[in-house]
Structure 1
């Protein structure tokens, strides 16, 4: 009798049961389009790179995320599969959108069925307490979005422009007196602008609180697509003692909430007792006529998330602008000529104002080109399909996530690695979203894009007008080093002339006198 024949039949039964269980678990964890027992006809998906068993392409992305440059190269490599690339990411399926055409068709024109966000147990639930608007699912997202639309009203934008002009004067003053800390000044400007708009006060926070707030933003952005649990969401339903990862992310979320409370509670109290200055919180979010249906916790997350996300993206965009200017002196000189033409009349100098935007098409176009040239958000948060979709000969199941590949879209241009704002001068350069996806798209487009455009225009125009920007050491225009509180790359900022220095000081004296008026 052979060894196999001598084995107890019980072992055969155990092996069979374990095999069935293993198959069932693997089948359960498969993405919808890859299930063998779906009971439906086979889905037809866009092509994509091969992956590993169970995890699919997940490890490829995790490996690419080790550096910004590696991630950008990986995202750009997906273009070889066509306008759409399918990635199997654990239990999820991603269809990465690599061209402006498919983004327009799927995100803009079919927004009714592509507006949802996938449930992310880590980034949304544990890190964000289920309340960060940008990644909330649609049922909870709608109310916050309704209130945030007030940011875009024409009358509010004029008020915000006045605040932004005021804060940008302080930016110039800091550049003048501490040019070696230019990167810190960019962060303070971007945060102070949003703090005035959202909370209504000048930014009087100590460095420790500013560092905490920047840490919150960096950690939140990092948490998106960082944990394997967000790609295998079924694991979040296990008993808590079987989730060893849970404490790390829950502690992070608790820290974020504490920081938000430190910034929120004084403003909420001031609104309630009638001492708060004009702001988004006072005049929109907590105003009785707006009738915001969320509770105080949701209001806090809405206000502080707008400020954190908007401020940090503005910081990164200004840093990218600085890199463009020091690595492309020709673009800096052309921008300078445009600003001088508008703001210099003989010996008379004045600072650029928001009303100068229509007269400065090159500066306006620089906003789009900065975001295209080196996108600050390589992968915009996923849009989840809520219905099965037939598109371009493909049959894509509900639950699939569409991702706008900002890196691929940025390469759909002639000489994509060159910084050429003139490519956007077509009569619509004053509209930062016209034929451009840097602020997202569809119903999920960044609600504060007009506010961001104003902040960037004033920073770009005023820095160009008042300072010469040059390298202060070796630079690599692909290495922006956004995730640091130190100098990301070496820059020398030199005031253009004694007259420009005097102009900054003169305007700064008005700035100090007018501070209390806002």
Structure 2
């Protein structure tokens, strides 16, 4: 009552001051309510004990630092966060991430405790609107389990054998493309990667126009670009506002409709062939839509499963092949060592092209694949592995909802002389397993289901390129900052065939597989 009386006196004697006081009180109360509603998940539990990390700023936490450094090619910010130890806590809006900065803690939390850390935090924009809650990469376990079950077919031995023949055929075309247009080497990587995964997923060789390929690449680019770009993904509770207050929806819904229409243009012809019985063998025909699989999703769900397989399989493979070229320019000794190994198996006089059957005999090439992925990580950060229940680890208590993110740069640098490209560091008896000791395919229950398929595609092409072609810089190259994500030429390279005999070998193989006429 005393405060109430003082306000009445203030209002009668100093009305302007009373109004200001009330406004300040309202603003303060509003800020406290906002702070409570949007408090980071890691601060909501009194029992939480989290690793140290930067303090951040009110409400946003470290979000501005994180977003301002998102495209830093040297990843200085991500590296700086290792000053807090093997694990670093950062609050990003109302989300709390624990960055895992060493292979040891990645193994302990992502792999060994995978049943507790296989969730995903809500992303109303990237996962919700833009993906219609159907891209399994970002889905929570309840929605992710069914598409994951179906995609596990990609790991089976029978599937790898069947798809391997297609990988070798598309590789033969890529080698011929290298001969005919060496200056477009980066485009040949993309054509190969997209074509082989299109054949696996949808059944036919890729005969799409340049515009159609560009559209699909734009879908990938815009989807990846949407992740974390909206404040709504960092403050998911905003998605609970009444629709008329969600002023951001029209923009993202237009992006969704454009994405959806492109997907449908690829999906409908395949679906029609399956219905009328003319479809060739494929993942969609023989697994996804086969009655024996008992897939429980509807047609739209199936379309997203198939198309996200194409997205994931095409973009990462081309980027890894670009890094291989990059390593060949910056570390030619490793390239020469790889060539000696292939020559020993296939003959130095262009006797035959290496194939997938040679994997056991070419351990250095297998090690080179792992070193390519370590040396210039394609994914500086993995999607967060969210805790689905509270758990304790080494004195810390992590509440459910906290996300664990593999900080790929320091994890990949946790070796001797990390800037050096040394495939021999992987010659440990596990070089045939691209996921052993390497986290670029993720880990735990969320590991990429197609990683063995990707490894085999990288093997066949790296072995053949090492065997048949030479790379030399064609201009100034910065070995630290090399943009291998670009669709156009990522760095200047001069490509030449190794010898006339190797040229003939490439042409003969392309003719034998009837793909020479498609090489452009």
TM-score with structure 1 length normalisation? 0.95
Q: Secondary structure at the match of 2:392?
A: strand
C-alpha distance in structure 1 between counterparts of 2:104 and 2:293, whole Å: 37
Could you tell me which residue of structure 2 aligns to residue 112 of structure 1?
Answer: 115
In the TM superposition, what whole-angstrom CA distance separates every residue of 1:280-315 from its partner, at most 9, and x where no partner exists?
111100111001000000000000101111110001
Could you tell me which residue of structure 2 aligns to residue 226 of structure 1?
Answer: 229
Whether the 8 Å contact between 1:319 and 1:480 is mirrored in structure 2 is no
Could you tell me which residue of structure 1 aligns to residue 242 of structure 2?
Answer: 239
Matches within 5 A, 1:78-117: 78-117=81-120
Whether the 8 Å contact between 2:510 and 2:516 is mirrored in structure 1 is no
- 1:258 and 2:258 matched: no
Whether the 8 Å contact between 1:118 and 1:382 is mirrored in structure 2 is yes
Question: Which residue, 5, 13, 19 being the options, matches 1:6?
Answer: 13
Once the two structures are TM-superposed, the CA of residue 513 in structure 1 deviates from its matched residue by 6.7
In the TM superposition, what whole-angstrom CA distance separates every residue of 1:172-211 from its partner, at most 9, and x where no partner exists?
0000000000000000011111011111111100100000
Could you tell me which residue of structure 2 aligns to residue 50 of structure 1?
Answer: 55
Question: Which residue, 131, 135, 147 being the options, matches 1:132?
Answer: 135
C-alpha distance in structure 1 between counterparts of 2:202 and 2:320, whole Å: 22
Question: Which residue, 162, 168, 184 being the options, matches 1:159?
Answer: 162
Once the two structures are TM-superposed, the CA of residue 21 in structure 1 deviates from its matched residue by 2.8
C-alpha distance in structure 2 between counterparts of 1:326 and 1:467, whole Å: 12
In the TM superposition, what whole-angstrom CA distance separates every residue of 1:120-149 from its partner, at most 9, and x where no partner exists?
001101111110011111111000000000
Could you tell me which residue of structure 2 aligns to residue 279 of structure 1?
Answer: 282
Whether the 8 Å contact between 2:389 and 2:399 is mirrored in structure 1 is yes
- 1:400 and 2:405 matched: no
Question: Which residue, 336, 356, 363 being the options, matches 2:358?
Answer: 356
Question: 3-12 or 364-373: which moved more?
Answer: 3-12
Once the two structures are TM-superposed, the CA of residue 485 in structure 1 deviates from its matched residue by 2.2
Change (3 A) 1:472 1:514: closer
- 1:416 and 2:418 matched: yes
Which ranges of structure 2 fall in alignment gaps of 5 or more residues? 1-5
Once the two structures are TM-superposed, the CA of residue 17 in structure 1 deviates from its matched residue by 4.1
C-alpha distance in structure 2 between counterparts of 1:4 and 1:240, whole Å: 39
Whether the 8 Å contact between 2:350 and 2:505 is mirrored in structure 1 is no
- 1:62 and 2:67 matched: yes
Could you tell me which residue of structure 1 aligns to residue 212 of structure 2?
Answer: 209
- 1:196 and 2:205 matched: no
Once the two structures are TM-superposed, the CA of residue 3 in structure 1 deviates from its matched residue by 8.4
Q: CA RMSD in A?
A: 2.0
In the TM superposition, what whole-angstrom CA distance separates every residue of 1:4-55 from its partner, at most 9, and x where no partner exists?
99334964455434432321111111113334xx5x34x2210111211110
Whether the 8 Å contact between 2:63 and 2:91 is mirrored in structure 1 is yes
TM-score with structure 2 length normalisation? 0.94
Could you tell me which residue of structure 1 aligns to residue 29 of structure 2?
Answer: 20
- 1:445 and 2:447 matched: yes
C-alpha distance in structure 2 between counterparts of 1:32 and 1:468, whole Å: 52
Question: 504-513 or 88-97: which moved more?
Answer: 504-513
C-alpha distance in structure 1 between counterparts of 2:374 and 2:71, whole Å: 22
C-alpha distance in structure 2 between counterparts of 1:448 and 1:95, whole Å: 26
C-alpha distance in structure 1 between counterparts of 2:490 and 2:431, whole Å: 29
Once the two structures are TM-superposed, the CA of residue 74 in structure 1 deviates from its matched residue by 1.4
- 1:122 and 2:125 matched: yes
Once the two structures are TM-superposed, the CA of residue 515 in structure 1 deviates from its matched residue by 10
Matches within 5 A, 1:365-380: 365-380=367-382
Whether the 8 Å contact between 2:365 and 2:462 is mirrored in structure 1 is yes
C-alpha distance in structure 2 between counterparts of 1:474 and 1:100, whole Å: 34
C-alpha distance in structure 1 between counterparts of 2:201 and 2:125, whole Å: 27
In the TM superposition, what whole-angstrom CA distance separates every residue of 1:62-85 from its partner, at most 9, and x where no partner exists?
10013333xx22111111111100
Question: 482-491 or 236-245: which moved more?
Answer: 236-245
Once the two structures are TM-superposed, the CA of residue 274 in structure 1 deviates from its matched residue by 1.0
C-alpha distance in structure 1 between counterparts of 2:282 and 2:183, whole Å: 33
Which ranges of structure 1 fall in alignment gaps of 5 or more residues? none
Q: Secondary structure at the match of 1:512?
A: coil
Question: Which residue, 301, 305, 310 being the options, matches 1:307?
Answer: 310
Once the two structures are TM-superposed, the CA of residue 483 in structure 1 deviates from its matched residue by 3.9
C-alpha distance in structure 2 between counterparts of 1:146 and 1:185, whole Å: 32
- How many residue pairs align between the two structures? 509
C-alpha distance in structure 2 between counterparts of 1:137 and 1:278, whole Å: 31
